[in-house]
Amino acid sequence: MSGKIIFRVLKVAAIAIVAFTVFGFVVTHLWNYLMPGLFGLRTVTFWQAVGLMVLGRLLIGGFGPRFGGAPWRRHMAVRWDKMTP
């Protein structure tokens, strides 16, 4: 591998780790601020919040086209292109 590719991979990995950490803390703090007061639920740890993020992503949107995204979008786009005014 060339140096540019390795640098790009490390850069993407660093950004992913930072985003993962930031979103985990955001979910943790939002949950712990809102849910106990509103619904009487317990507080969560960082890893429980990350688990909630992953679970929500799996249930709502998948992980992109490779992991169950929305294949119907392409199908509908083709159908819309074929429609007459």
> Could you give the CA distance from residue 29 to residue 53 in angstroms, rounded to a whole number?
13
HEC profile of 16-37: HHHHHHHHHHHHHHHHHHHHHH
User: How many angstroms separate the CA atoms of 75 and 57, rounded?
Assistant: 23
Per-domain residue ranges for the chain? 3-82
Name, in order, each residue with C-beta under 8 angstroms of 42's C-beta and a sequence gap of 6 or more.
36
Q: Indicate the SS3 state at residue 44.
A: coil
| Distance between CA atoms of residues 49 and 79, nearest Å | 40
pLDDT of the chain, 85 residues: tens digit per residue: 688 889 999 999 999 999 999 999 999 999 999 999 999 999 999 999 999 998 988 888 766 555 444 677 778 888 888 888 7
